[in-house]
Amino acid sequence: FEHDAEPYSFRDLILARKYAGLIASGASWGAIARSVHRSGPVASLTAKSLNLGSQNGRPDAIYLDDGASELDGQLLFDLGSPNSGMAGDDTLEELFAEAEGAEEEGRHDDAAALYQRCLAIDAKDAIAAFNRANCLR
């Protein structure tokens, strides 16, 4: 809150309603206090949309804008989860084999993109670089 004793401000009322909404959605006072303490000036929270949890962050912390950023403004980026298709289990060998298959099928744009992913894993892979260059011709 902005004031810890009377007279309370209108901002205190707004914050009290926001905190009540967070508690109703399952937040603990500890999570609210930790998040608000990290946010800087408490008065700035009155104009922001506060939400409990984030798909890209911790489920027990308070976030802004449907979990898109932390209270201090730090944006969150979805790096994918290990169980979402190939994103977590890409290995160089699997990608290279998939790229070769795409190249053999004549899907040169797809093959070039896959070879590029191989190069992102191992930038010194001369064969992937050579094959990618051939696909781009």
**pLDDT of 42:** 66
pLDDT in tens, 81-108: 544 444 444 588 888 999 999 999 999 9
So where are the chain's domains?
Answer: 10-70, 85-136
Amino acid at 12: D
Q: Which residues contact 26 (CB under 8 A, 6 or more apart)?
A: 52
| Structure tokens given for 4 | 């810890």
pLDDT in tens, 5-62: 788 788 888 888 888 888 888 888 887 777 777 666 666 666 666 767 655 556 666 7
Contact 67, 76 (CB under 8 A): yes
